[in-house]
Amino acid sequence: LEKIYIHSAFEENKMKYRFENVLGSFIIDENKGIVGKGTKGKVVSAGKIKDTLKFFKDKQYFREFYSRNLSLTKKQVKKSVTEDNLIMQTISSLQELDKTLNLFGRRLSEWYALTCPEVVNKVDDYERLVDFVLSKSCSGACKELKVKEEMGADLPERDLTQMKSLAASMREMFLLREKHENYLEEVMKTYCPNLLELAGVTIGARLLDIGKGLKRLAMLPASTIQLLGAEKALFRHLRGGGRSPKYGILFAHQLVQGAQRKEKGKVARVLADKLSLCSRLDYFKGEFKAKEYRKELEARFG
């Protein structure tokens, strides 16, 4: 049993108390023990609770205690699913999709290069490669990309079908990626609008993921937010094996990206500061201030 929810009650006439717990409301006689159920009367005083609890040592209550508590716990579990969980699952799924698309993309390039190396060399974006594999023959693709086609083997349709199926599966994943992203944006728009506005979908969601939820993120100091995602480098530094990291996942933020090399650390620090404010505004349901913050930062560093 994780928790036992006990409320106490007390009735002051003739040594009888009313006591409420998870099983219901009981009338208790100080000498005879539990004498019946009832909902009238004043609740037992805090000092009496310990004395009263012994009456429930009777084995007949054990099973009921167990099942009532279990169902209460289950209800709590049910209620404990928040937007945090959904966002964390979605952003993890998104990252796994990216990883997989890279893996499959490399495979498709290598495979398709057997029949059409010229196109594979020209196209460095997997999404575009998928389109070519699915929609065109090799010679058609070569024509569009203005390359002379010579080196690839002429494979029968049976062999090409396998590559096309792989490409089709990849296209499905690209669509799924987009769906995930739109969904994330939608959820975050109501759950953490400030964070969304200043950090963007991916970085915002990843902050929630690494920070383990909005509540904890709001409690973290800005300096920690600045280094979320750079744990490895940070601990290496703390063990004395390297320079202190200046940014974690914030490195991918467009403000940090756009800054000069020397300034990146500074921008990340100020950005983390504002993001920390944003997460607090979101957690405590404050106003929408992220737009101002963004303008401020852009004016200073943009």
Positive or negative torsion for Cα 117, 121, 122, 123 = positive
Binder of a copy of itself out of 23, 53, 145, 173 (CB under 8 A): 173
Q: Is 153 in the site for a copy of itself (CB under 8 A)?
A: yes
Strand order, beta sheet including 33-37: 16-21, 24-29, 33-37
Q: Is 63 in the site for a copy of itself (CB under 8 A)?
A: no
Residue among 120, 129, 110 at smallest CA distance from 147? 120
Positive or negative torsion for Cα 159, 164, 165, 170 = positive
Q: Using CB under 8 A, which residues numbered 184 to 203 contact a copy of itself?
A: 186
Residue 36 has φ and ψ, to the nearest 5°, of: 165, 180
Angstrom distance (rounded) from CA 189 to CA 192: 6
Reported residue count of the chain is: 302
Q: Is 165 in the site for a copy of itself (CB under 8 A)?
A: yes
* Amino acid (1-letter code) at residue 77: V
The region of 158-166, 216-224, 258-266, 288-296 touching a copy of itself under the rule CB under 8 A is: 158-166
How many alpha carbons fall within 13 Å on the CB side of residue 153? 9
The region of 32-40, 47-55, 83-91, 279-287 touching a copy of itself under the rule CB under 8 A is: 83-91
How many alpha carbons fall within 13 Å on the CB side of residue 79? 5
Q: Is 32 in the site for a copy of itself (CB under 8 A)?
A: no
Q: How far is the CB of 142 from a copy of itself (least distance, A)?
A: 13
Q: Is 51 in the site for a copy of itself (CB under 8 A)?
A: no
Q: How far is the CB of 104 from a copy of itself (least distance, A)?
A: 7
Q: Is 176 in the site for a copy of itself (CB under 8 A)?
A: yes
Q: Is 150 in the site for a copy of itself (CB under 8 A)?
A: yes
Q: Is 162 in the site for a copy of itself (CB under 8 A)?
A: yes
- What residues pair up with 155 in beta bridges, in sequence order? none
Angstrom distance (rounded) from CA 153 to CA 213: 53
User: SS3 for 10?
Assistant: coil
Pick between residue 85 and residue 121 the one whose CB is nearest to a copy of itself: 85
Binder of a copy of itself out of 8, 17, 28, 180 (CB under 8 A): 180
Where on the chain is the footprint of a copy of itself (CB under 8 A)?
A: 71, 74, 77-81, 85-86, 89-90, 92-93, 96, 99-100, 103-104, 107, 110-111, 114-115, 150-155, 158-159, 161-162, 165-166, 168-169, 172-173, 176, 179-180, 183, 186
